[in-house]
Amino acid sequence: MASAARVEDTTFSDLAARQRHPAVDATIKIVKSPVGAGSGVVILILIAVALSAPYVSPFDPQAISRDKFVAPGVEGHWLGSDGIGRDILTRIMYGARISLYVGFLTVGFGTLAGAVIGLFSGFAGGWIDLVIQRVVDAIQSFPAILLAMAIVSVIGPSTTNGVLAIALIVAVNNSRVIRGAVLSVKENTYIEAARSIGASPLRVMMQHILPNVVAPILILVSAGFGSAILIEGALSFLGLATQPPDASWGLMLSRGRESIETSPWLALFPGLAIAVTVLSFNLLGDVVRDVLDPRLRGSR
């Protein structure tokens, strides 16, 4: 009796598991892995800090005070203060807003544009594909950082313009990966079947190809945050993205270099903030990749 009931239970839960949406399954796997859960928590904390910065930060990020170059832990400045007496912890909290803004916008635009170009190029094939791919080649043959500089020098240095420049490069790189995935999906019999029953090209592309290239797109999304934040840091470091007095981590680090020998915390903490943030996104990205594409374990 008892065993029969158990058999029924297993069958039922198996059925429930089978009926779960694949996205739910993948999310459960990601959250259950220690690395995925850990990095996810760090990212959630980061988002919370970024959103609540105006309410929880101990000081005003732009407020100049007489407490110049205060060492960490002194006079309420947990992470010290900078050359004009601004609180480092507060500025790092506000910096999280810029980094996340850059990350989300770049990845969003870069993925969307990349997916559109990649889908179109791969699906159209022929000379359209040839022309698009030569342009992609051309853009990839120039170092990304110099290209971003050239774009920023035209549209002017600011956080949003930095995002535009980075997103354009990310879109180009992503489009190549997505095109590759489209080319392999296109060869499947179900695409031929869809075509043979008279589905329009747009329908084939959106209904049959797109769902099958979602995994590589999600992998690009999860790997994109880290590199977007790194490039924004690099551009700000060179004075080409976020402008003072706004608190971008790259900019803070670059300014901190000037007084590195006497007050190393000015450079140390913003640098650590970038490192920890990018590391969390990269670790989460690895877990997402392992779950979505077990073949690619640990590669990049």
Partner 1 sequence: MGRYIIRRIVVAMPSLAIVTVLIAGLLRLQPGDVVMARLSESGYLTQEDVDEMRRELGLDKSFPEQYVDWVTGVFQGDLGVSLWTGRDVLETLATRSRVSIQLAIMSMVVAICTAIPLGIISAVKQDSWMDYIARLFSITGLSVPDFFLATMLLYVLSVWVGWLPDFGYTPPWEDPWANMQAFVFPALIVGYRLSAITARMTRSAMLEVLRQDYVRTARAKGLVERIVIFKHALRNALIPVITIIGSQLTFLLGGLVIIEVVFSLPGVGTLGFEAIQVRDYPVVQGVVFFTAILFITSNLLVDLSYAIIDPRIRYS
Among 105, 178, 267, 291, binds partner 1 (CB under 8 A): 267
Residue in 287, 211, 216, 223 with CA at minimum distance from that of residue 29 = 287
- CB of residue 83 vs partner 1: minimum separation in angstroms? 16
**264 near partner 1, rule: CB under 8 A:** yes
Beta bridge partners of 87: 81
Whether the CB-CB separation of 100 and 47 falls below 8 Å is answered with yes
Token digits of residue 104: 């989300």
Q: Which is nearer to partner 1, 136 or 213 (CB)?
A: 136
Q: Does an H or E element contain 156, and which?
A: none
| Planar angle of CA 75, 76, 78, nearest 5 degrees | 115
Interhelix angle 34-56/265-292, nearest 10 degrees: 140
Nearest approach, Cβ of 7 to partner 1 (angstroms)?
A: 34
Contact residue for partner 1 among 1, 4, 154, 202 (CB under 8 A): 154
253 vs 288 by CB, closer to partner 1: 253
Instruction: Return the residues of window 273-292 that contact partner 1 according to CB under 8 A.
Output: 274-275, 278-279, 282-283, 286
Neighbours of 142 (CB within 10 A): 11
- Nearest of 82, 1, 37 to residue 244 by alpha carbon: 82
**With binding defined as CB under 8 A, does residue 134 bind partner 1?**
yes
* CA distance linking residue 296 with residue 23, whole number of Å: 19
Decide: is 268 part of the binding site for partner 1 (CB under 8 A): yes
Pick the closer one to partner 1 by CB: 68 or 134: 134
Phi, psi at residue 242, to the nearest 5°? -60, 135
The distance of closest approach from Cβ of residue 99 to partner 1 in the complex, given in angstroms and rounded to an integer, is 12
| Cβ–Cβ under 8 Å, residues 271 and 183 | no
Among 5, 143, 189, 202, binds partner 1 (CB under 8 A): 143
Counting contacts by CB under 8 A, is residue 87 touching partner 1?
no
Q: Comparing C-alpha atoms, which of 69, 158, 162, 175 is closest to residue 122?
A: 175
The residue type of 174 is: N
Residue 292 tokens read as 């979505």
Q: How far is the CB of 274 from partner 1 (least distance, A)?
A: 5
Decide if residue 135 touches partner 1 (CB under 8 A): yes
CB 77 within 8 A of CB 87: yes
Taking CB under 8 A as the binding criterion, the range among 46-54, 87-95, 199-207, 230-238 that sits at the site for partner 1 is 230-238
Shortest CB 51 distance to partner 1, Å = 23
User: Measured from the CB of residue 265, what is the shortest distance to partner 1 in angstroms?
Assistant: 11
CB of 103 to partner 1, least distance (A): 13
- Which residues of this protein are in contact with partner 1, per CB under 8 A? 134-135, 137-147, 149-151, 153-154, 226, 230, 233-234, 237-238, 250, 253-254, 256-257, 260-261, 264, 267-268, 271, 274-275, 278-279, 282-283, 286, 295-300
